[in-house]
Amino acid sequence: MPTILIVDDDPLIRSQLTEFLQMKRYDVHAVESAEEALDLIKVEQPDLILSDIFLPTIDGLELLARVKKAYSEIEVIMITGHGNVSTAVNAMKLGARDYIKKPFHMDELALVVDRALRNKALDEQIAYLRREERQSLGFGEIIGNSEPILQVFELIRQIARSPRTTVLIHGETGTGKELVARAIHHNSQRAKKPFVEINCSAIQPTLLEAELFGYEAGAFTGARQRKTGLLEIADGGSFFLDEIADMSLELQAKMLKVLEEQTFRRVGGTKEIKIDIRVISATSKDLDIATEKGDFRKDLYYRLNVARIEIPALRDRGDDVVILAKHFLEFYNRELKRNIKAISPDVLRAIRQYSWPGNVRELRNIIERAVLFETQDTLTSASLNALLRLSEPTLSRKPPKGNPLEIQIPPEGIALVDIERHLINQALERTNGNQTKAAELLMLTRETLKYRMRKFNLH
């Protein structure tokens, strides 16, 4: 939902515009002076400002100039009285997206606002594509220009030329194995066909077989109708088996048949189903050791390991960690509507020195949280230290009133995202859905709360 800030010293106009734009499903704030607007922008960065030119103390043109200097991505529409078109044109030269003359019809206003927001979205897409082109990337979201990652790029190019070759991707957790698999698919002849993936460690063996091959009606209790398997859905495209080492030996034998014959049977079925797919698998484990122990079939290993890509750990990629950190800073600035302009030198030194056991995924999570919590326009060592404290197994925090809240991890473990989702739900229920009050309870900005609600699909 786009956020609009109305700046007008006429209370009647503020009220009318607020009511109308809220009916159009915009998130609307309204203030009577440029000073109030500048203060509010620091907290709730809007997508668009609708401002009168004639304001007390600081006029609309000065407000426009200050906004464009500090927050160039915010769109501004100026409201001008009859006979002041030349002033409005000057506003356009200062960076205003458009202007509208008083008196105006609400339908006319709606068109101007909608056009400005659509143009803003288009500008953001173009800017993003230009940034991507400037990066020494090569493939999708795989970012970097170190020698190890450039070698990965070259392997992707070579493998993508052959649409049938099976690929085994090996690397530590969080190095981006799925991104490499997608890059192979999207740079191959199969790019216009489906890319289907499944994580073998995330699904029970019996359910994994049903997901892969599908099943016929009556194949087992609860199978009321035929289900198409993921392998069949991937026909013509690429199938990605993540964490292949966790697949059961029984299922490994069936997958070997798929690789050798490109056929399979649904669970409970007798018909051979023919498919045309490229299989890409990935693992963070050493399959050589797994085959020696008998935990993984040698014949399947040889069949998967026709082309192999080793993904380097982030600690082995030199200054790529800085490139990635700056990329994630730009990304979460856009996602969270923040305006953090840089990373301080001491934080960059710490980022270079840290071993990053969680690799790129850990770095991305750290930068996301840093953008959420940072109160300055630069990521500082103070925010980095706060993040390290938040990453400890036991979280202790003293709320403003009452006793300290202590959350202990149970022996069986607990998902952090489930705790966060539960707390957000609880805050919204306690405030009857009032996002501003819920954000205050959680000690977040309203924009941060809205971002988290979108992330967890909460309404």
Tokens read off for 39: 């203060």
Q: Tens of pLDDT along the chain (459 residues)?
A: 688 999 998 899 999 999 999 998 888 999 999 999 999 988 777 889 999 988 888 988 999 999 988 888 889 999 887 656 677 778 888 888 888 888 888 988 999 999 898 888 777 656 554 544 444 334 557 888 888 999 999 999 999 999 999 999 999 999 999 999 999 999 999 988 989 999 998 888 888 999 999 888 887 877 777 788 899 989 999 999 999 999 999 999 999 999 999 999 988 888 888 999 999 999 999 999 999 999 999 999 999 999 999 999 999 998 899 999 999 999 999 888 888 888 988 888 888 888 888 899 989 988 988 888 888 888 887 776 655 544 433 323 334 444 445 566 766 667 777 788 888 888 888 888 888 888 888 877 676 787 788 777 776
Structure tokens at 298: 């040698």
Domain enclosing residue 240, as ranges: 147-312
Same domain flag for 12 and 108: yes
Contacts for 100 with CB less than 8 Å, ≥ 6 apart: 77, 78, 79, 80, 108, 109, 112
Q: What is the pLDDT of residue 137?
A: 38
**Are 291 and 363 in a shared domain?**
no
Task: Examine residue 22 and state whether it is found in any structural domain, yes or no.
Answer: yes
Please state the domain count of the chain: 4
Residues 105 and 66 in one domain: yes
Looking at the DSSP bridge assignments, the partners of residue 50 are 6, 77
- Looking at the domain assignment, is residue 334 inside a domain? yes
Residue 404: inside a domain = no
**Residue 400 has what pLDDT?**
44
Residue 398 lies in a domain: no
**Quick check: is 225 in a domain?**
yes
Identify the CATH number of the domain in which residue 58 sits.
3.40.50.2300
Cα 310 to Cα 153: distance, rounded to the nearest angstrom: 11
3-state SS assignment for residue 217: coil
Instruction: Kindly state whether residues 157 and 193 are assigned to the same domain.
Output: yes
Q: How many CA atoms lie within 13 A of 348 on its CB side?
A: 13
My answer on whether 428 and 361 are in the same domain is no
Same domain flag for 365 and 423: no
Rounded to an integer, what distance in angstroms lies between the CA atom of residue 459 and that of residue 435? 10
**CATH number, residue 415:** 1.10.10.60
Choosing from 336, 361, 392, the residue where a domain stops is 392
Sorted by sequence, the CB contacts under 8 Å of residue 386 that are 6+ apart come out as 373
Beta pairing, strands 405-407 & 395-397: antiparallel
Query: What integer pLDDT is reported at residue 102 of this predicted model?
Result: 82
Q: At 361, which CATH number?
A: 1.10.8.60
Q: Give every CB contact of residue 320 below 8 A, 6+ residues apart in sequence.
A: 143, 144, 145, 146, 149, 314
For residues 98 and 162, state if they share a domain.
no
CA distance 80 to 74: 19
Please tell me the number of Cα atoms within 13 Å of 204 on its side-chain side: 2
Q: Single out the residue in 261, 286, 312 at which a domain terminates.
A: 312
Residues 29 and 177 occupy one common structural domain: no
Whether 191 and 306 map to the same domain: the answer is yes
Structure-block tokens of residue 55: 């304001």
Domain annotation covers residue 140: no
Global pTM value: 0.57
Examine residue 424 and state whether it is found in any structural domain, yes or no: yes
Residues 374 and 416 in one domain: no
CATH number at residue 274: 3.40.50.300
What's the rounded Cα separation, in Å, for the pair 113 and 109? 6
Long-range contacts of 316-321 (CB under 8 A, 24+ apart): 316/148, 317/144, 317/146, 317/148, 317/149, 318/146, 318/147, 319/146, 319/352, 320/143, 320/144, 320/145, 320/146, 320/149, 321/351, 321/352, 321/356, 321/363
**41 and 102 inside one domain:** yes
Among residues 361, 392, 423, which one ends one of the domains?
Answer: 392
One domain, residues 157 and 291 = yes
Inter-axis angle of helices 446-455 and 416-430, nearest 10 = 120
Dist. CA 68–CA 76, nearest whole Å: 9
